[in-house]
Structures are given as structure tokens and as C-alpha cells.
Structure 1
Amino acid sequence: MRTAAITVDPETMGGEPVFTGTRVPIQNMWDYLMTGETLDEFLENFPTVRREQALEVLVLADDLVKKAAAA
């Protein structure tokens, strides 16, 4: 699977979803946000992830939640 912001490839991090062009798992961003850290703090600690990628992942997650709520 690949979107502009997310890549899932068995050859990269064992198939864990990562930010495209990086080896940074998407889960790392969720972990930061769930512990109260900001998106800026995440981006400072993972400089290979672009702000646009992180925002796209957040929008994708929002869309999924809205679809699930409508079902």
C-alpha cells in the first residue's frame, strides 16, 4: 500500500506503515500525540518527516473516523 504520505512495504520495517521516503513508523507520531506532545515536537525529533506528510496522515485518520461513525 502506498499513499502520498504512507508506505507499507514488506522490505521496509517489516511492512509496518511508515512515512513515505523514511523509515519512521506512523505509530511513532501517534505515540507522541497520545502522550501529550505536539506535532512540532514530533517533527523536531524526526526531521525526515515533512509537516505535509504528517498533516496528510492526520487527515486520512480523520476521514476514516468519520466514515466509521457514518456506517
Structure 2
Amino acid sequence: MDLHSISRITVESEKCGGRPCIRGMRIRVTDILALLGAGASINEILDDFPELEREDILASLNYAAEKLDSNAARN
């Protein structure tokens, strides 16, 4: 994952139970992934969450891919 994507994903113990969020907001990476998994397009998500940027959604996908890959490597 590139450094620009990494900076968009934040983990703060006092927000969302310490789960990964987008740029310190209370929008979790899993929220973005769930919307995409349910069939929402990037443009639909951006319309529903105007504070998000396209790069935030791509960073969420990159973050998830990185986590899955690192988990698979440990197993």
C-alpha cells in the first residue's frame, strides 16, 4: 500500500472502538467495503458521503487487500 493511501486510514482508540476509519472521521473502512459489497458504486458512495473523496474509497480497498494478504501470510 502506498504512503498516500496509508495516511488516509486512521486508527484511534476513542473513535469507532479503535477500528480503521477514513481520515479521522467516524466512517469505518468496513462501512465503505460493505457499501461496495452491496453493489453501491463509488459515485453513489461519494454522493451519500460528500466528505469522502474517491481516494478514500480506493484506500479502503487497498487497506483491506493488504490486511487479507498479511493474514494469509501468517497462516
TM-score (norm 2): 0.69
* 2:39 match: 36
Q: Structure 1 residue 9 and structure 2 residue 25: aligned?
A: no
Equivalent residue of 2:13, what SS? coil
- What is the distance in 1 between the residues matched to 2:69 and 2:24? 28
Give the total of aligned pairs.
Answer: 68
CA contact (8 A) 1:22 1:49 kept: no
Q: Tell whether the 8 Å contact from 1:18 to 1:26 is kept in structure 2 after alignment.
A: yes
Q: Between Structure 1 and Structure 2, which shows a larger proportion of helix residues? A: 2
Aligned counterparts of 1:16 and 1:61: Cα–Cα separation in 2: 12
Larger RCO (alpha carbons 8 Å, 6+ apart)? 2
Does the CA-based 8 Å contact 2:33-2:60 persist in structure 1? no
Calculate the aligned-residue CA RMSD, in Å. 2.1
| TM-score using structure 1 length | 0.72
How far did 1:62 drift?
Answer: 3.6
Deviation at 1:42, TM superposition (A): 1.1
Alpha-carbon shift at residue 64 of structure 1 (Å): 4.8
For structure 1, the residue ranges without an aligned partner over 5 or more in a row are none
Matched to 1:46, the amino acid is F
Q: Which ranges in structure 2 are unaligned for 5 or more consecutive residues? A: 1-5
